[in-house]
């Protein structure tokens, strides 16, 4: 094991899959000559050449559609959106074409395509560049969605996504690109299955369900709560669709209290679906109401102080945990 950044882990995953399968290629804005807007594709152009590391015009709808067509004829495209907020320009391709082609062709065409890039709020990017898109895409039948929080998960999930015969979205958290974590060496295959959550910290008093950039927030709060004799279990979803219900249910059955912290908006959010599934399947295990900590239901302000007020934070999460624990 060695410590590398989230960015380096993604870069390794791309390089390993490009090396393993000649049908894999990377395409997007500035992924080649500029090495990616966030330097995730650093060095790949020099190693694999311009036929497999392809710069595109600023036309998300165009290159997303090109990637879907390439996937239909046997290639395995990796499409990078400079931010998933800009994937909304390609919404027709990602929602209407990629997930429906297999069914509408009577099984004649698989679409083994990976859409990846930074998702969710970062820092003072204002309303149009701060969208958390997981609830949009997870609601679409035929799309798989994952949101890794650690370098190891980022590498393992991206490699699995590239090998999947269905369209997969890998939602990377921009604020985590420079974060560090332990990852297996390149000579050891790292594949993490979609649909498998991970308990990042064991606890007994409350389950904090989280994903992506809310995971480090939850871990920080758990350490703080421990000083007040509240033991929080941290469940990192990793994969939003398919969702690992069993790991969530097992945690809730142990702690009997739940707080969900998420980076998207509350209305129709990921947390709302998890709330429904918990109360539908293991309602009797609950000793308190389920609470959610999410973005406020407003467009993201540019102002730094207002942005902090809108986002989930430690104070909001601590308050929610104490409320469900009657502390």
**Arithmetic mean of pLDDT, 217-244:** 98
Catalytic residue among 16, 17, 29, 129: 129
Does pLDDT of 248 surpass 90?
Answer: yes
Q: What is the pLDDT of residue 178?
A: 96
Confirm whether 245 is a catalytic residue: no
* pLDDT higher than threshold 90 for residue 1: no
- The angle formed by the CA atoms of residues 164, 169 and 307, to the nearest 5 degrees, is 160
Residue 327 predicted with pLDDT over 90: no
Name the one residue in this structure whose structure tokens are 């890998």: 170
pLDDT at 39: 96
Predicted confidence at residue 32, as pLDDT, reads: 97
Superfamily classification of domain 2-183:
Thiamin diphosphate (ThDP)-binding fold, Pyr/PP domains (3.40.50.970)
172: pLDDT strictly greater than 90: yes
* Phi and psi torsions of 173, nearest 5°: -90, 115
Identify the pLDDT of residue 186. Answer: 85
Q: Which structure tokens are listed for 218?
A: 């939850």
The pLDDT assigned to 187 comes to 81
Q: Tell me which of 12, 17, 60, 262 is the catalytic residue.
A: 60
User: What is the pLDDT at residue 91?
Assistant: 96
d(CA 162, CA 91): 20
* Cβ proximity of 245 and 277 under 8 Å: yes
Asked whether residue 191 carries a pLDDT value surpassing 90, the answer given is yes
- Quickly state the pLDDT bin for 60 (edges 50, 70, 90): very high
What number of other Cβ atoms are within 10 A of residue 100's Cβ? Answer: 16
The predicted-structure confidence for 174-190, as pLDDT tens digits, reads as follows: 999 999 999 998 888 99
Domain ranges of the chain: 2-183, 198-324
Q: Is 129 a catalytic residue?
A: yes
Q: Report the CATH number of the 198-324 domain.
A: 3.40.50.920
Q: How confident is the model at residue 273 (pLDDT cuts 50, 70, 90)?
A: very high
pLDDT tens-place string over residues 283-325? 999 999 999 999 999 999 999 999 999 999 999 999 999 999 9
Q: Give the C-alpha separation, 289 to 234, whole Å.
A: 18
Using pLDDT thresholds of 50, 70 and 90, give the confidence band for residue 262: very high
Query: 241, 266, 269, 239: which is closest to 135 by C-alpha?
Result: 269
CA pair distance 72, 193, nearest whole angstrom: 23
Matching fold, domains 2-183 and 198-324: yes
- Average pLDDT, whole number, for the chain? 96
Burial of 202 (0-12, 13-18, 19+ CB in 10 A): exposed
Q: Whole-model pTM?
A: 0.96
Mean pLDDT to the nearest integer, 216-224: 98
| pLDDT, average across residues 39-50 | 97
Predicted confidence (pLDDT) per residue in 115-154, tens digit: 999 999 999 999 999 999 999 999 999 999 999 999 999 9
For 76-103, write each residue's pLDDT tens digit.
999 999 999 999 999 999 999 999 999 9
């Amino acid at each position: 094991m060695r410590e590398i950044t989230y960015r380096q882990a993604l870069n390794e995953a791309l390089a390993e899959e490009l090396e393993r399968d000649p049908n894999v290629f990377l395409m997007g804005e500035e992924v080649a000559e500029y090495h990616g807007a966030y330097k995730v594709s650093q060095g790949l152009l020099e190693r694999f050449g311009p036929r497999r590391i392809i710069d595109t015009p600023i036309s998300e709808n165009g290159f997303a559609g090109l990637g879907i067509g390439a996937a239909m004829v046997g290639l395995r495209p990796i499409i990078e959106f400079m931010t998933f907020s800009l994937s909304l320009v390609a919404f027709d391709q990602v929602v209407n074409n990629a997930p429906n082609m297999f069914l509408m062709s009577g099984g004649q065409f698989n679409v083994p395509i990976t859409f990846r890039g930074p998702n969710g709020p970062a820092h003072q990017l204002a309303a149009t560049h701060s969208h958390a898109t997981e609830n949009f895409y997870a609601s679409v039948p035929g799309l798989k969605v994952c949101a890794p929080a650690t370098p190891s998960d980022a590498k393992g999930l991206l490699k699995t996504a590239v090998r999947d015969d269905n369209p997969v979205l890998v939602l990377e958290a921009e604020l985590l690109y420079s974060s560090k974590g332990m990852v297996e060496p390149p000579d050891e295959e790292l594949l993490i299955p979609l649909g498998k959550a991970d308990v990042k910290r064991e606890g007994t008093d409350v389950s904090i369900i989280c994903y992506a950039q809310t995971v480090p927030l939850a871990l920080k709060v758990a350490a703080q709560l421990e000083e007040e004799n509240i033991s929080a279990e941290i469940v990192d979803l990793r994969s939003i669709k398919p969702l690992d219900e069993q790991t969530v249910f097992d945690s809730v059955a142990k702690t009997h209290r739940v707080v969900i912290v998420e980076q998207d908006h509350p209305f129709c959010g990921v947390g709302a679906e998890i709330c429904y599934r918990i109360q539908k399947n293991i309602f009797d295990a609950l000793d308190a109401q389920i609470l959610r900590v999410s973005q406020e239901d407003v467009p993201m302000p540019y102002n730094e102080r207002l942005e902090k007020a809108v986002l989930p934070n430690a104070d909001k999460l601590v308050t929610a945990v104490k409320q469900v624990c009657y502390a």
